[in-house]
Homo-oligomer: A and B are copies of this chain.
Amino acid sequence: MKLFNVKKVDEVRKILDDVFSDACSKYELIPIEKSLGRVVYEDLYSPIDLPEFSRAVVDGYAVLSDDTHGAGESMPVFLNVIGRVDMGKAATESVKSSTAIYVPTGAMIPPGADAVVMIEYVENLDENTIAVYTPVAPGHGIIKKGDDIKKGHKLLSKGKRIRARDIGVLSALGIEFIKVYEKIKVSVISTGDEIVYPFGEVSFGQIRDINTNLLSAMAEESGADVSLKLLVKDDFDRLKEAINKALQVSDIIVLSGGSSVGAKDMTAKAIESLEDGKIFVHGVAVKPGKPTIIGKVENKAIFGLPGHPSSAMIIYKLFVDYLIRKYYSMNEDIIYVEALCSENIHSEPGKETYQPVELIEKDGTYEAVPIYGKSAAISKIAKSIGYIKIAENKEGIKKGEKVRVALF
């Protein structure tokens, strides 16, 4: 095994950027009604002006604004009502000087008219005549064609995750289908002689497999599809076989190691033994998660995560989730929650520390409570809603200090 320098998070991410710069950019065209949560494949522009025609935004009379010039409470202007526009119908008749056409809110503005006088300022004198008691400026009471969204306006950027409101916007513009990224396919492989299928009876000494289901669910949360889940013993040939199987069906392979001595080396050796297999990262300067491996086979990324679930979760978030987001061209739009730290937190200088925390709400502010416990502890995972990062040059965090919590 070659010796690698232990790397910092930013260095590792830079390597991921470089090594996997042009992988995974397949798209599919799907109905917008099925697109919630999917990621936009290319910038999307409005194909039309919105509104598609000038509309009334009040109930009133479409007029020529010039005709209302000088109108006032004591000196109305009289106009001849020549018709009405019904909701949802095209306005065919034109408004000419001294005439008006009734328009309800949302109706199309008839040709010729450049303003709408609200009914509140109008008196109906007879069936065909109104008195207008206020002057209106051009454009009053109207939303003009294209005022809301112009044809060609950028609606969605490549890499954006589609939310409900986006689907609303696309509907408004008549966009029925959208190009989204094909889902990244992830295989999850757990290794360890002591690790067994989690359900049913297990023998003394055996440990139920956590990481396969944990990391698979995390991959789903990242917007990936899990194509294969495997559990293998710490055996070189079986591990190599498992990786080969996973390579057939996935873009990313996430291994997590047992804690037995030498298991980590086995992962690295298995990757290097494959044709075109390379290791880029062997060890990261992160607490927890030092024994992290990142490699590549056939342009597919292979991650070797620590075996302890709580460390695996953090390394997953720092690198695997990062790569999936990169494949999807997603910007770093993680929403942080601001909180006050509930107690002093120590950190190891020279290492970035990622401390899992609980969030407790108190009178409208959040308190971040660090979760301690051995890194294998499941109770720790159960409570951790997110983590805070302590920079390598910072000596811990003081009680009451403001921190930013990244959610798991």
**Interface residues in chain A, defined as those with a beta carbon under 8 Å from any beta carbon in chain B:** 32-33, 36, 50-53, 57, 59, 85-91, 104-108, 143, 148-149, 155, 163-176, 192-196, 198-200, 202-214, 216-218, 220-221, 258-261, 309, 313, 335, 337-338, 359, 364-365, 373-374, 376-379, 381-382, 384, 404, 407-408
- In the bound complex, do residue A163 and residue B205 qualify as a contact, i.e. CB atoms below 8 Å apart? no
What residue in chain B is nearest A338 (Cβ atoms)? B338
Nearest residue, chain B, Cβ from A217: B164
For A57, give its contact among B168, B170, B261, B376 (CB under 8 Å): B376
Chain B's nearest CB lies how many Å from the CB of A183?
14
Report the separation of the CA atoms of residues A392 and B222 in the bound assembly, to the nearest whole angstrom. Answer: 39
Contact check, B210 vs A172: say whether CB atoms are below 8 A apart: yes
> Quick check: B381 and A213 within 8 Å, CB to CB?
no
Q: Is B33 within 8 A of A196, CB to CB?
A: no
Contact of A90 among B104, B205, B382 (CB under 8 A): B205
Chain B residue numbers with a CB within 8 Å of A108 are 204-205
Q: Do residues A261 and B107 form an inter-chain contact, with CB atoms below 8 A?
A: no
User: For A198, what are the chain B residues with a Cβ–Cβ distance below 8 Å?
Assistant: 171-172, 174, 176
Instruction: Tell me the bound Cα distance from A82 to B386 in angstroms.
Output: 45
Q: Which residue from chain B places its CB closest to the CB of A106 in the assembled complex?
A: B259
Contact B106 A207 (CB under 8 A): yes
Q: A106-B260, A174-B199, A202-B174 are known contacts. Are A214 and B167 too (CB-CB below 8 A)?
A: yes
- The answer to whether B199 touches A176 (Cβ under 8 A) is yes
Find A208's partner among B36, B105, B173, B207 (CB 8 Å cutoff). Answer: B173
- Contacts A33-B213, A36-B221, A88-B194 known; A382 to B166 CB distance under 8 Å? yes
Known: A53-B204, A165-B408, A260-B104. A88 touches B193 (CB 8 A): yes
Can you list 6 contacts pairing A with B, beta carbon distance less than 8 Å? A87-B193, A88-B196, A165-B313, A171-B208, A172-B198, A338-B338
What residues of chain B lie closer than 8 Å to A155, measured between beta carbons? 382
Chain B residue at minimal CB-CB distance from A198: B171
Distance to closest chain B CB from A196 (angstroms): 7
Q: Name the CB-closest residue of B to A312.
A: B168
The answer to whether B213 and A165 touch across the interface, beta carbons within 8 angstroms, is no
User: B378, A148: Cβ atoms under 8 Å?
Assistant: yes
**How far does the Cβ of A387 sit from chain B's closest Cβ, in whole Å?**
12
Q: A168-B309, A193-B87 are in contact. Are A149 and B378 (CB under 8 A)?
A: yes
CB distance from A312 to the nearest CB of B (A): 9
A204 to B87, CA, bound (A): 10
Q: How far is the CB of A383 from chain B (nearest CB, A)?
A: 9
The residue in A168, A175, A193 that gathers the most chain B C-beta atoms within 10 A of its C-beta is: A168
Give the distance to chain B from A331, nearest Cβ to Cβ, in Å: 11
Q: Please tell me if the beta carbons of B89 and A214 are within 8 angstroms of each other in the complex.
A: no
The 7 closest A-B pairs by CB, nearest first: A168-B214, A88-B194, A164-B217, A90-B204, A176-B199, A87-B194, A108-B205
Expressed in whole angstroms, the Cα–Cα distance for A143 and B380 within the complex equals: 14
